[in-house]
Homo-oligomer: A and B are copies of this chain.
Amino acid sequence: MTNGAQDLDHLIALLSKLPGFGPRSARRAVLHMINKRNLVLLPLAEALQKVGATARNCLNCGNIGTADICDICASEKRSTGEICVVEDVADLWAMERSGVFKGRYHVLGGTLSALDAIGPDELRIPRLIDRIQSEDVSEVILALGATIDGQTTAHYIADQLAGVKVTSLAQGVPVGGELDYLDEGTITAALTARKAL
């Protein structure tokens, strides 16, 4: 369609389906890649094939890695006493970038949702309950989104895990945030949870 060369059109069509990409940016990226064939195009093709062949969900926590048990679950350096429950792998990566959590994770794979007919068995909640019983877990930290579905899921999990300490992330003013730009719900939460200086 654009230039008569089918392989190029096919590549552009595939790229333009990626999130954040459209036809125009896909064309631009393809021309860039062809101009830098050895620096960008060929390494990218190789990296994609490698990840395509090896990427899989960790059997223990649901994180994406290249082995049956992901590097975090397999690491001796991570404490086994704390499990941080997140909705998806992107959230796990966000937690890891903060670098402050040294325990292990459990990826639910979504949130409970009556509208979308997603119940506990569609998520990794049974596996989480197994882990609490088999691993020596002292605290479960719920790092779920501050949405209705996220909070519903948090309450359901807290109910299921009677006998273990369950905490959730604090709500309040984001670092660098200005009060003027915050919604009323966040200000209410921050005021309710105020701390002595």
Contacts and interface: CB of A to CB of B under 8 A. Distances in A.
Interface in A58-103: 63-66, 70-72, 75, 88-90, 92-93, 96-97
Interface residues of A, number: 54
User: Can you tell how many copies of this chain the complex includes?
Assistant: 2
A48 B44 contact: yes
Contacts of A49: 42, 45, 49
Interface stretch (A19-27, A118-126, A178-186): A19-27
Given A19-B25, A47-B11, A3 B92 contact: yes
Given A7-B66, A10-B47, A32-B19, A97 B2 contact: yes
**Most B C-beta atoms less than 10 A away, residue of A32, A51, A65:** A51
A55 interface: yes
A90 B30 CA distance: 10
Contact of A25 (B20, B54, B63, B66): B20
Contacts of A89: 3, 31
A90 B41 contact: no
A76 to B, nearest CB: 13
B31 A72 contact: no
Given A11-B44, A42-B52, 7 more contacts: A5-B66, A7-B50, A20-B20, A28-B90, A34-B55, A41-B51, A44-B48
